Each structure stands twice: as C-alpha cells, then as structure tokens.
Amino acid sequence: MIKIAPSILSADFANMGRAVEQVEEWGADYIHCDVMDGRFVPNITFGPQMIRELRKHTRLPLDVHLMIVEPERYIEEFAGAGADIITIHQEAAVHLHRTLMQIRDAGCKCGVVLNPATPVCMIEDVLDDVDMVLLMSVNPGFGGQKFIPRTLEKARSLRQMLAGRPVDIEIDGGVGEANAKAVIDAGVNVLVAGSAVFGSPDPRACIEALRCSR
Ligand SMILES: O=C(CO)[C@@H](O)[C@H](O)COP(=O)(O)O
Ligand SMILES: [Fe+2]
C-alpha cells in the first residue's frame, strides 16, 4: 500500500486548520508536520501547540518530523498533543535507541530520519526497533528543493537491509509526479509531498497520481 503524506510546510500558515481539513478531503493518508527549531536546521516552524490545534481538525494520522536538537526533551509533549508517528534524526539523537523507545512508550509509532549525507548503515542496529525510516531526499529546512537522485540507491539498499521486516520507508523532499514511480520502484511506500500537492491546480488528482505511479 502506497501512502501519501502532504507536508503542511507548503500550506497557508495563517489557515492551518482549514489546510489539514482540505488535505483529508483530497484523499491523503497522513498529514506530514515539519517541526524546525532554527538550530538543527536553519528555519523555524512550529511546536506542540500547533499539533494540538491540528488534532482538532483531522482524523488522519499526524506524521511529525522533528528537525530539532535534543529531540528527547520534547517527545512526551508531541505525543500528548496528538502526534501518531514521531520521527527523529539520527544526526540529532545521541542516544538513538533510547529515544526511539521513549517515542513508543509515549504511545506513538517511531521512526528514524537520515539526512542525504548519512549512509543507511548508520541505522543497521535499530532496524528491529523502528516502524519507519525516513530518507531525506533534500537537505532539511525548506520546501520546494530539488530531489537528490542518490536517495533512490539508498532506498534500494535499505529495503534489502530490512529483509522483509514490516518497516515503512518514507521519502521526503522534491517528490512529485515526475519521480514518484522511480521512488516507489526503489522500495519506498510513504511519499511526502509539499510543494507538489499544494502547488498543484488539482491537489486531489495530484495525490491520486502520486499514489498510482507504480
Ligand atoms: O522536511 C521537509 C523539509 O525539511 C519536507 O517535509 C518538505 O516540506 C518537503 O517539501 P517539498 O520538497 O515536497 O516541497
Ligand atoms: Fe519533512
């Protein structure tokens, strides 16, 4: 099953409640929420309060991508605010396994994220302990960047490393109708798309096209 997770980084920040209602109406599977702290990445977005408010506007799973330093300090707050999936960067988590378990203990699905320059071998020892691996196909911090093709090889290697484990591979950055087939063929099953969906004249058709790109 291919899942589509529109990133609200490309939505109207002054109308976020309406934005997530629309994403649900358009037939998406998850709402991808990009949390940035101005330290791990050179941009600042929003925190747990936004997740709490969005929770009131949608029943779709909230897929919370934490681009923050010391993510262990905020896990319970995001879980309590209504996050369903919390992903943390390998590069930001000093005690990666502990923080993944902290996410599960807080009642959420857990995932680990890799920057474009981080090889998949860095997470070999936590593959039994995650629900999802998120491969960044751009350097994190901003929407609307160009897809880094090397990510496709990373996805193929990761799918092999997973050896049948029921772990989702999500990809994030520069994904659109032009590369969705290649991404899915490489073993990815959750596609994040921000500018492609929100910039489309027909977001519903865009989501369906992404899902059926196989
Ligand atoms: O995490 C990030 C950026 O750091 C993403 O989730 C972007 O929001 C994706 O945007 P597009 O590349 O699809 O426009
Ligand atoms: Fe993201």
Which pLDDT tens digits describe the chain residue by residue (214 residues)? 999 999 999 999 999 999 999 999 999 999 999 999 999 999 999 999 999 999 999 999 999 999 999 999 999 999 999 999 999 999 999 999 999 999 999 999 999 999 999 999 999 999 999 999 999 999 999 999 999 999 999 999 999 999 999 999 999 999 999 999 999 999 999 999 999 999 999 999 999 999 999 8
Q: How far is CA 112 from CA 41, 67, 85, 92, 101, in A?
A: 16, 11, 11, 10, 12
Considering the candidates 12, 29, 34, 168, report the single residue annotated as catalytic: 34
The three-state secondary structure class of 179 is coil
Ligand 2 midpoint to CA 78 (Å): 16
Q: Are 51 and 19 in contact (CB under 8 A)?
A: no
Q: Which helix (DSSP H) or strand (DSSP E) does residue 35 occupy?
A: strand 31-36
The three-state secondary structure class of 158 is helix
Contact partners, residue 160, CB within 8 Å, separation at least 6 = none
Does this complex have an ipTM over 0.95?
A: yes
- CA atoms of 185 and 95, how far apart (whole Å): 33
Report the pLDDT value the prediction gives residue 58, as an integer from 0 to 100.
98
**Which ligand 1 atom sits nearest the alpha carbon of residue 194?**
13
Ligand whose nearest atom lies closest to the CA of 177? 1
Report the pLDDT value the prediction gives residue 147, as an integer from 0 to 100.
98
Report the pLDDT value the prediction gives residue 176, as an integer from 0 to 100.
98
Q: Ligand 1: does its nearest atom lie under 6 Å from the Cβ of 65?
A: yes
Considering the candidates 29, 131, 168, 172, report the single residue annotated as catalytic: 172
Report the pLDDT value the prediction gives residue 205, as an integer from 0 to 100.
98
Q: Does the active-site annotation cover 128? A: no
Strands (E), 68-203: 85-89, 109-114, 132-136, 168-172, 190-193
What is the pTM for the complete model shown? 0.98
Token pair 């092999």 is found at 160
- What are the φ and ψ backbone dihedral angles of 62, each rounded to 5 degrees? -95, 115
The three-state secondary structure class of 126 is helix
Ligand 2 midpoint to CA 146 (Å): 14
Burial class (CB in 10 A: 0-12, 13-18, 19+), 189: middle
Instruction: Label residues 168-177 b or e (16+ Cβ within 10 Å = b).
Output: bbbbbbbbbe
Report the pLDDT value the prediction gives residue 214, as an integer from 0 to 100.
85
Report the pLDDT value the prediction gives residue 75, as an integer from 0 to 100.
99
Q: Are 86 and 103 in contact (CB under 8 A)?
A: yes
Report the pLDDT value the prediction gives residue 56, as an integer from 0 to 100.
98
Q: Does the active-site annotation cover 131? A: no
The CATH topology of domain 3-211 is TIM Barrel (3.20.20)
* Protein residue whose Cα sits closest to atom 8 of ligand 1: 143
